[in-house]
Structure 1
Amino acid sequence: MAKDVTLRQLRYFVAAAQTGQFSMAATDEHVSQSAITNAVLALESALGTRLFERLPQGVELTPDGQDFYHHARHVLDSVRDAMHKPRFRSHDLRGTVRIAASYVVLGYFLPELFARFRASYPDVEIDLRDVDRPGIEAAVLNDDVDLGVTILSNVERLSRFGHQVLMRSRRQLWVAPTHPLAQLRTPSLKDIAQHPYILLTVDEGEQSTLRYWAKKRMTPNIAFRTSSMEALRGLVAYGFGVTVLSDMVFRPWSLEGKRIEARPVLDTIPQMDAGMLWRKDAQMSAPALAMQQFLIHACGS
């Protein structure tokens, strides 16, 4: 049956998994919703299992769907990398690329990309540094690193740098399935403000959160602040509060195996932009340039 599976079907399936809605996946892929539905049904038929649970507010991956999602991503990423290699790959490229990255992108975005880069450039060493956003800006400007990777929406005076957005990630409400807000299809910030809120403080999370709340002339009902993503997941999953965070860091389970669901927020709130910084006048080494171009290509920017 594997011979009947197409790359287009995999792409549509991944889009549906990432958005949680067939309609949104169709918009992202510039096709009809029926094209997404038919692709998913064809994959489910070929695999002999359900990939999604159909819910009133959208879809969510089944355990089999979650497993297949990782395989599908791997296939699509491998094809993308294969298309990248003829233009940029140098089999004998050697040296070191110096990268400073902040907590969120280092934990939830870069490791897989670095593994793919290493497969293309096995003799290039990655000198990786865990640095906060102000430290990344200083390191880039002082030429202590070749590239900085951080949340660009937090960077002060972005025009000082060469920069490239690598991922735009929407922010959604995270909520336990039994929580009252889980019953609303698109809760508003006003709805959310009526319930205890768990605030993530890492990577300037508190400042960026309160900034968009303030623009709506509202404040969340903060019950607990934490720099631990797993503590936040546990508290949300057990119903002690809710939070609004980006899809990049969303996982549907806490460490204890309790379910977490995501809901789109009715109000317009800013997405999270993760991306690269480099010094405008920098003369990049060949390894640094290879990493820069690889990340741009791999992320489809």
Structure 2
Amino acid sequence: MELQQLRYVLAVAEERNFTRAAVKSHVVQSALSHQVKALEHELGVQLFARTSRRVELTDAGAAFLPAARATLDAADRAIAEAVSTSGDLRGRLLIGVIPTVTTVDITAALGVFHRAHPNVEIGLTTGGSLDFVTAIRESAMDVAVLGLPDATPPTGVATEILAHERLCAVMSPEHRLASRRRLHLNDLAAETFVDFPASSPGRSQSDRAFTAAGLRRTVAFDVMSTDVMLDLVDQNLAVAMLAPGVVADSRGLNVVPIADGPTRIEYLAWSAFNPSPAALAFLDVLRATSAGD
């Protein structure tokens, strides 16, 4: 069994098409098909069910895929670590960022990192904190910025606290409470809210705060995009509860402190088991650029 055969299998599994897999792998289709068939013959099982129009993993292929991916990740990691001893970093760096990150300038740090280590392949994705923690544990992500309620710190990953933040009420200047200098949760209980989807970390801190205060609120808009969230607030359709740094001054929205509002902690997270050289180098860049702000 050769590593290149495993790469071809992964490409076919991802593309569900031998032609597209060959293009992705920079090889002619006949060579890719031959190598996949040779591997199937060696294993004694069929990895793909295929017709002229359709390609799907068999049960054997689905069982084979996770270990194949892990083998390739380990091989790539070994190569990257060997090369890093010469000071020339290679490999991949995948970063996860929550939509409400306020404490670090990820894009600026990535720019500095890329200029220092141009041979590292960089990827960036936005999403939820819990998904990022899982991805880091499973070695599918290198570094992430998380935002979690102060009562639920991440587990199973290495972390560094970036900031503690108390959420504020964000509302249109036309809102009846917009002129207030400070609010309490009780002042907001009757309002219509826009928030992150139910059960997400970004939502749970606010839900818990209202529940702990013996209050109920109405969340009419469940969205993942902070831009959409702030657009709804701008139209005076809802009130949001966000970290103050999320709201740009150019928006012209009113950000009012909530005396008994929920707090969240923004974390930097990475593998506690075996971080890659690229991940460690990026953490150094991120800390340096943050310290310089």
TM-score of the aligned structures, taking structure 2 as reference length: 0.59
Q: Which of 247, 265, 277 is 2:269 aligned to?
A: 277
| 1:101-160 Cα shifts (integer Å, max 9, x gaps) | 144157995223322333444443323344543332222222233323322448966342
Q: How does 1:188-267 map to 2 (within 5 A)?
A: 188-201=184-197, 204-253=201-250, 259-267=252-260
Partner amino acid, structure 1, of 2:254: E
Aligned residues: CA RMSD: 3.3
Distance 2:86 2:163 in 1: 28
Among all aligned residue pairs of Structure 1 and Structure 2, give the percentage whose two residues are the same amino acid.
18
Structure 1 residues 69-92: Cα deviation after superposition (integer angstroms, max 9, x where no partner): xxxxxxxxxxxxxxxxxxxxx996
**Deviation at 1:191?**
0.9
Residues 30-85 of structure 1: CA distance to partner in whole angstroms, max 9, x if unpaired?
xxxxxxxxxxxxxxxxxxxxxxxxxxxxxxxxxxxxxxxxxxxxxxxxxxxxxxxx
Looking at structure 2, the residues matched to 188 and 253 of structure 1 have their Cα atoms a distance apart, in angstroms, of: 26
> What is the CA distance between 1:184 and its match in structure 2?
1.0
Tell me if structure 1 keeps the 8 A contact 2:98–2:147: no
- Give, as a single letter, the amino acid of the residue that structure 2 aligns with 1:229: T
Q: Give the direction of change, closer, same or farther, for the CA distance of 1:226–1:285 in structure 2 (3 Å limit).
A: closer
- Structure 1 unmatched ranges of 5 or more: 1-89
Give the 3-state SS of the residue equivalent to 1:181 in structure 2.
coil
Q: Counterpart of 1:298? A: 289
Using the alignment, how far apart are the partners of 2:127 and 2:235 within structure 1?
32
Q: Which residue of 2 aligns with 1:149?
A: 145
Distance 1:138 1:243, change over 3 A: closer
* C-alpha distance in structure 2 between counterparts of 1:223 and 1:195, whole Å: 10
SS at match of 1:280: coil
Partner of 2:89: 94
Moved more, 224-233 or 168-177: 224-233
More helix per residue: 1
Matched letter for residue 264 of structure 1: P
Checking the alignment, whether the CA contact within 8 Å between 1:96 and 1:127 is kept in structure 2 is no
Q: Is 1:287 the equivalent of 2:283? A: no
Give the ranges of 4+ consecutive aligned residues of structure 1 lying more than 6 Å apart after TM superposition.
Answer: none
Alignment of 1:74-113 (within 5 A): 93-104=88-99, 109-113=105-109
Contact 2:162–2:267, Cα closer than 8 Å, also in 1: yes
**2:178 partner SS:** helix
Q: Specify which of 111, 130, 136 is matched with residue 134 of structure 1.
A: 130
Structure 2 CA distance, aligned partners of 1:219 and 1:299? 39
SS of the residue aligned with 2:177?
helix
2: CA distance, partners of 1:91 / 1:190 = 60
Change (3 A) 1:269 1:133: closer
TM-score, normalised with respect to structure 1? 0.58
Structure 2 Cα separation of the partners of residues 179 and 244 of structure 1: 14
1:223 and 1:105 mapped to 2: Cα distance?
20
Query: Can you give the 5+ residue segments of structure 2 that lack an aligned partner in the other structure?
Result: 1-84
Cα offset for 1:174?
0.6
- Please say if residues 152 and 165 of structure 1, whose CA atoms lie closer than 8 Å, have aligned partners that are also in contact: no
Residues 132, 278 of structure 1: alpha-carbon distance in 2 compared, 3 angstrom cutoff? same
2:144–2:269 CA contact under 8 A, matched in 1: yes
Indicate whether 1:114 and 2:110 are aligned. Answer: yes
